[in-house]
Amino acid sequence: VLKPVIDMELNATINMVFNHGIFCQYLNLPILIPYTKLVEYEYIDKKFKKGGDELQIGDDINIKITDIRYHNKNINCIASLKI
C-alpha cells in the first residue's frame, strides 16, 4: 500500500488534461497538477505546451507531491512537475 508523503517524487501517467490542470495516476493514487504549478506551460488543444515540450494523455511524467488530502476514506494528492 502506497502511503504518499510531502516531497515524495514519483513517475506518474497522465490520464486527463484540461484547462485547470493535469490529472495523473501512480498505481491507484489520483494526483492533480493544477495549472498554477505548470509555470510557462500554455493550454492548447487539450495539451499543455512549452516550446517543443508537450504534456498529453498517456505521457509518463516525473512529479513531486506538494499536498495530501484525505476525505471519505480516499487519499488525493496535489503535485508539481519535477524538472
Helix count and strand count (H, E) for the chain: 0, 8
- pLDDT, tens digit only, all 83 positions of the chain: 688 999 999 999 999 999 999 999 999 899 999 999 998 999 999 999 999 999 999 999 999 999 998 888 888 899 999 87
Phi, psi (deg, nearest 5) at residue 57: -55, 135
CA–CA distance, 60 with 55 (Å, rounded to integer): 9
* Residue of 12, 9, 7, 4 whose CA lies nearest to 60: 12
CB distance 60 to 13 below 8 Å: yes
CB distance 1 to 15 below 8 Å: no
